[in-house]
Structure 1
Amino acid sequence: MFYNRSKLTASLYAMMSISFWGVSFVSTKAVLGKLDPYSLLVIRFGIGALFLLLLLLLQRHRLQISIKYVPHLMVLGILGVFVHQVLQATALLTINASAAGWLISFSPVFTVILSVLFLHEKMSLTKAVGMALAITGVLIISTTRSGQSFQFDMNIGFFLMVLSTLNWAIYSVLLKSLKIPYPPLVVTFYMCLLGLVLTTPFIIRNKGWENLSLLNHSEWAHLLFLGVFVSGIAYWYWGKALGVLEASKVSMFLYLEPIATLIAAVLLLKEKVLLISVAGGIIIIIGVIIVNGQLLPMVFNFFKKKRL
């Protein structure tokens, strides 16, 4: 009973993380008009690190960590925070938020590929079909934009977003396999702090602080959301979820991310929803479900409930 309750709690943590990350594309897109990607990330990581530090002090967690695990934290921070966020923020300069949300659901496919390459799992025909479907969905989304023709600068944005999904798959597998013996809140704080340290030289080079005065109240609200809920709470809750559930199970919640992004993009950015883009996103999700071997059980359970 306790185990089931802990699994339910972990699932709620994962769902909240995904919801925050889904909306993050919209908040990032809303601020990129005034700030360059690196300046945005410095402010975001700074707010996130300060928020997490306050939480650590309130919960009386020890900040001291063994030097043995410093390389682990550096690898996770560089991949999961610095590289991941730089890729996504740069991609959002040329693609809209809703497209980014659909593409990020492609991440579980890379998780399967990594498992085949490094964990020696078998590639079945079913997985191959699912991957082909998911890739087809990505191509549909990446070549569609309000009826316009295929453009090279758009390719760069879509390529960077897909690359970020590969990076996230690597991060999730590492976070689970490294087994750092510290609370998720402590791990998240140091990862966010590392992201701040790595991006600070860029805001100095670009003099990004000069544009902070141009931000209005709405854009500052987006930055606070990105710092507190996305860089802070979402990463913290994702680590807590991975502490209970398998990485492959947690990655299933990525199916919900494009839905959160789509709703937020329509409501906050007034983005137009193209039916062909939605179709491409649905194809990605169906393909990912097939890859992870979840389609047949889902269909079976559906008809079983119908009979009952």
Structure 2
Amino acid sequence: MPSNRSKLTASLYAMMSISFWGVSFVSTKAVLGKLDPYSLLVIRFGIGALFLLLIVLMQRYRLLVSIKYVPHLMVLGILGVFVHQVLQATALLTIDASSAGWLISFSPIFTVILSILFLHEKMSSMKAIGMVLAITGVLIVSTSRSGQSFHIAMNIGFLLMILSTLNWAIYSVLLKSLKIPYPPIVVTFYMCLLGLILTTPFIIRNKGWESLSLLNQSELAHLLFLGVFVSGIAYWYWAKALEVLEASKVSMFLYLEPIATLIAAVLLLNEKVFLISVAGGIIIIIGVIIVNGQLVPMLFRVLKKKRP
């Protein structure tokens, strides 16, 4: 059984992944004005694969994998990298970054259902309470945006984002259940490489490289961030978190994604922050802590320290 320290470390990995993915909606939206979705993905995967390869070589991991696990890596790469990123990038053509952030937060619902069905994980009353709190927090944050009620038009972008949440739940459960006996960094490298291979024909067809000269320094920085931190480090850390924690628990961190998106929107797009948004964010965090079974031990330690 994993120790409390290893669980805390895994939780930190998951939080970092979510932070990068939350910001990615803003960065993707910033670059899509000049790059088509497929060209953006090719460059992202290329930067990510190169970065991960350098880490693998520096840490002297073996790149060779057994032929037995090649189908596993291909399935994970297609679902978790290629299909997932294509769905999201295409959706962002018709919906804004903030809406995408709110929608992806509902992926844990699918993950919990799949984890119960296929990983035999249990749905405790505390986990259910934490999930309800987290969903409530997401709704509070989303309805507070610009003082307007939360509304997303029923268009193709909305449907694609919903599909991406289901797809991500399937990917997370598979990544946990397949138990590929290789370091997460190696698994992530091959997934990113597969994403690069699958999307390369699109950039050739669209001559996407010609649009790179149109990007300014800020947009190039967004592109570099998407490649290194979103396509590389975030996937790597997510896999590391799933090594220790249950898939349903790791998925709960997705409720924090709207907070990361909101912060990025404020810092990069100068959007306003409302007090009710902060309150909703706190509720989300409390819900995630409850789901991961940390609230009761934390309260116990606090009460113990206060005893004379």
State if a TM-score over 0.5 links the two structures: yes
Deviates more, 1:243-252 or 1:258-267: 243-252
Distance 1:123 1:3 in 2: 21
Paired residue for 1:177? 177
Give the letter for the 1:52 counterpart: L
Gaps of 5+ in 1: none
Cα 1:54–1:126 change in 2 (3 A) is closer
How many Å apart are 1:161 and its aligned residue?
A: 1.3
Residue 34 (str. 1) matches residue 34 (str. 2): yes
Q: What are the equivalent positions in structure 2 for 1:291-306 lying under 5 Å apart?
A: none
How many Å apart are 1:151 and its aligned residue?
A: 7.6
Give the letter for the 1:237 counterpart: Y
Cα 1:44–1:235 change in 2 (3 A) is same
Give the letter for the 1:85 counterpart: Q
Distance 2:305 2:158 in 1: 40
Paired residue for 2:223? 223
Distance 2:190 2:197 in 1: 10
- Do 1:76 and 1:191's aligned partners in 2 also have CA atoms closer than 8 Å? yes
- Do 2:253 and 2:288's aligned partners in 1 also have CA atoms closer than 8 Å? no
Distance 1:149 1:238 in 2: 29
Distance 2:151 2:12 in 1: 39
How many Å apart are 1:230 and its aligned residue?
A: 0.8
3-state SS of 2:3 partner: helix
Aligned length: 305
How many Å apart are 1:249 and its aligned residue?
A: 2.1
Q: Kindly provide the CA deviation profile for residues 67-106 of structure 1, in whole angstroms up to 9, marking residues without a partner as x.
A: 1000000000001101111111111112221222222121
Give the letter for the 1:159 counterpart: L
Paired residue for 2:194? 194
Deviates more, 1:11-20 or 1:186-195: 11-20
- Do 1:144 and 1:150's aligned partners in 2 also have CA atoms closer than 8 Å? no
Distance 1:221 1:58 in 2: 24
3-state SS of 1:62 partner: coil
Paired residue for 1:11? 11
Distance 2:264 2:142 in 1: 20
Paired residue for 2:261? 261
Q: What are the equivalent positions in structure 2 for 1:83-94 lying under 5 Å apart?
A: 83-94=83-94
- Do 1:176 and 1:243's aligned partners in 2 also have CA atoms closer than 8 Å? yes
How many Å apart are 1:286 and its aligned residue?
A: 8.9
The TM-score, its normalising length taken from structure 1, stands at: 0.82
Distance 2:151 2:101 in 1: 20
3-state SS of 1:243 partner: helix
RMSD of equivalent CA atoms: 3.5
- Do 2:79 and 2:171's aligned partners in 1 also have CA atoms closer than 8 Å? yes
How many Å apart are 1:7 and its aligned residue?
A: 2.2
Q: Kindly provide the CA deviation profile for residues 233-284 of structure 1, in whole angstroms up to 9, marking residues without a partner as x.
A: 1111111111122222222222222111111012112346689999999999
Cα 1:256–1:134 change in 2 (3 A) is closer
Identity within the alignment, %: 84
Cα 1:25–1:9 change in 2 (3 A) is same
- Do 1:103 and 1:281's aligned partners in 2 also have CA atoms closer than 8 Å? no
Distance 1:42 1:232 in 2: 13
Paired residue for 1:70? 70
Cα 1:13–1:137 change in 2 (3 A) is closer
Q: Kindly provide the CA deviation profile for residues 169-214 of structure 1, in whole angstroms up to 9, marking residues without a partner as x.
A: 1111110110101111110000000000111111111121121110
- Do 1:108 and 1:248's aligned partners in 2 also have CA atoms closer than 8 Å? yes
Residue 97 (str. 1) matches residue 97 (str. 2): yes
- Do 1:30 and 1:269's aligned partners in 2 also have CA atoms closer than 8 Å? no
Distance 1:79 1:98 in 2: 23
- Do 1:105 and 1:284's aligned partners in 2 also have CA atoms closer than 8 Å? no
Paired residue for 1:157? 157
Q: Kindly provide the CA deviation profile for residues 275-303 of structure 1, in whole angstroms up to 9, marking residues without a partner as x.
A: 9999999999899899x697996998799
- Do 1:185 and 1:236's aligned partners in 2 also have CA atoms closer than 8 Å? yes
Give the letter for the 2:75 counterpart: V
- Do 2:92 and 2:100's aligned partners in 1 also have CA atoms closer than 8 Å? yes
Gaps of 5+ in 2: none
Give the letter for the 2:167 counterpart: N
